[in-house]
Amino acid sequence: MQTEYSLWNRDPEDEILPTVRELGIGFVPYSPLGRGFLSGAITSPDDLAADDYRRLSPRFQGENFYKNLQLVEQVKAIATEKGVTPSQLALAWLLAQGEDIVPIPGTKRRTYFVRKRCSRGDYSHSRRTESTGDCCTQGYSRRGALL
């Protein structure tokens, strides 16, 4: 089963994950870095090229952009505390949700791929990593991101 799942969009936790687990089906979350937003590299709508498709998404527009940026700031703070990048933390959190979860982060650069590949590190199953999702989405809808 494949659908979006990340610290930014936790919708699958309500029905999809319990169902695929009951049926013994693996789960492949796409956009585990929230279309790049959870990397912390996007800090302004101006960081997106004029023709970037994300400009069409309500998540990246107006007030939603800045509300979602608050979530990213929490991810950055926890990542700094752990000595990892925000991308590594977001992927580690996702991997800590179960061995049946195999995220597919996309990248345009090989160096980013190597960093993401190393995200499973020693901290991936720590209690702090597992609770990151609750900490980062406190005050947000179950979906996390503001649409």
Provide the residue-wise pLDDT of the chain in tens; the chain has 147 residues: 999 999 989 999 999 999 999 999 999 999 899 888 999 999 999 999 999 999 999 999 999 999 999 999 999 999 999 999 999 999 999 999 999 999 887 766 666 555 544 444 444 444 444 455 555 544 444 444 444
**What's the pLDDT score for residue 136?**
53
| Structure-derived torsion over alpha carbons of residues 118, 81, 146, 99, reported in degrees to the nearest 10 | 40
Which residue, among 59, 130, 44, 146, has the nearest Cα to 89 in the 3D structure? Answer: 130
Buried b (16+ CB within 10 A) or exposed e, 19-50: ebeeeeeebebebbbbbbbbbbebeeeeebee
3-class DSSP assignment, residue 52: coil
Give Cβ neighbours of residue 146 (< 8 Å, ≥ 6 apart): 58, 59, 63, 64, 67, 68, 140
pTM for this model (two decimals): 0.74
**What's the pLDDT score for residue 2?**
93
Structural domains of the chain ordered from first start: 2-137 (3.20.20.100)
**What's the pLDDT score for residue 126?**
45
**Both structure tokens of 13:** 């936790």
**What's the pLDDT score for residue 105?**
77
